[in-house]
Structure 1
Amino acid sequence: MDKIRPLWRHYFNGTQCVIYVIDLHDRERLHESKLEFEKVQKDPEMKDVPFVFLCNKSDLPNKLTIREIYEEFEIEKMEQSWCFQTCCAISKKGIYEPFIWIERNFKKK
């Protein structure tokens, strides 16, 4: 994965929304995830692009809280629109709501 990440910027042109998936059960890599997020967010191509934080594994015990994610990712400093959604990919709980938010809030340019 580390070899692919530097190539992400080649896909930013024309991006209308970013869905950023966070593993709520992986405390050890949360800071690494934040650093990757910052690289994406700070790219000039992403200036006005909204972000959806899809927080997966919400069904597991000892998971990170939304507050912990909010603080680690310093959401209050974001200039872009954003949305948080906890989810469980296995049960599909919470998977569809972010797409409704995107549809309601952002029309295709």
Structure 2
Amino acid sequence: MSLLVTALDVLTNVPTGIPDPEPVAPPGAEGPVAVLLSWAKWLGLIAAVVGIIIIAIKIAINVRRGEAAGELGGLLYIAIACILVGSAVSLVGFISGA
């Protein structure tokens, strides 16, 4: 019985003793990392705009054939990608608990 009590004591006391520091960027990394992330976000949004234009062209071509409904799924994927690119920082912060 003493082993069970010890295991329970370890499981209840160890998680409270683990520190949870705030995430801090290393010194000197704020500038270059922020630039790279902003470029990646900008490129992602540009790719999404190009994707929307391509889907619009495909819809315009296929509407004459009566097959335009098949392209709407691609538009949905691009809309989801735009939402993910735009909310990436908030989404990662929520998932990591920061």
TM-score by length of 1: 0.22
More strand by share: 1
Structure number, greater radius of gyration: 2
